[in-house]
């Protein structure tokens, strides 16, 4: 209850940002995860064929296309967040 209890979506909307919920549907834990985007910066990525932390493993030439695409999406999101942060920081210091 201390960290959001049963209404994690509201808690994340109020206090969260820059989170990727990477869900492999072959992972039995995925049913307890966030399976839809909550905001522009709280994103759920679904991999029907994925399992627990597949996207965090080292890449190999045998990686399936969906995994290569998911990793690219994650990198794009994170780079965007960093870029936005840097732009906001520049704007604050111009004042």
- Residue 31 falls within a domain, yes or no? yes
The total of other beta-carbon atoms located within 10 Å of residue 15's CB is 9
- Residue 3 falls within a domain, yes or no? no
Q: Residue by residue, what is the 3-state secondary structure of the chain?
A: CCCCCCCHHHHHHHHCCCEEEEEECCCHHHHHCCCCCCCCCEEEEEECCCCCCHHHCCCCCCCCHHHHHHHHHHHHHHHHHHHHHHHHHHHHHHC
- Residue 81 falls within a domain, yes or no? yes
- Residue 2 falls within a domain, yes or no? no
Q: What is the pLDDT along the chain (95 residues), one digit of tens a residue?
A: 455 567 888 889 889 999 999 999 998 888 888 999 999 999 999 999 998 889 999 999 999 999 999 999 999 999 999 999 999 888 887 75
- Residue 87 falls within a domain, yes or no? yes
- Residue 29 falls within a domain, yes or no? yes
> Global pTM?
0.84
Q: How many domains does the chain have?
A: 1
Range of the domain at 52: 8-94
- Residue 53 falls within a domain, yes or no? yes
């Amino acid at each position: 209850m201390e960290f959001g209890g049963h209404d994690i979506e509201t808690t994340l909307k109020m206090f969260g940002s820059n989170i990727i919920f990477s869900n492999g549907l072959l992972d039995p834990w995925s049913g307890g995860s966030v399976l839809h985007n909550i905001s522009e910066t709280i994103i759920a990525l679904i991999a029907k064929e994925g399992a627990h932390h597949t996207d965090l493993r080292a890449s190999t030439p045998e990686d399936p296309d969906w995994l290569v695409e998911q990793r690219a999406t994650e990198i794009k999101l994170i780079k965007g967040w960093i870029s936005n942060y840097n732009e906001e920081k520049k704007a604050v210091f111009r004042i």
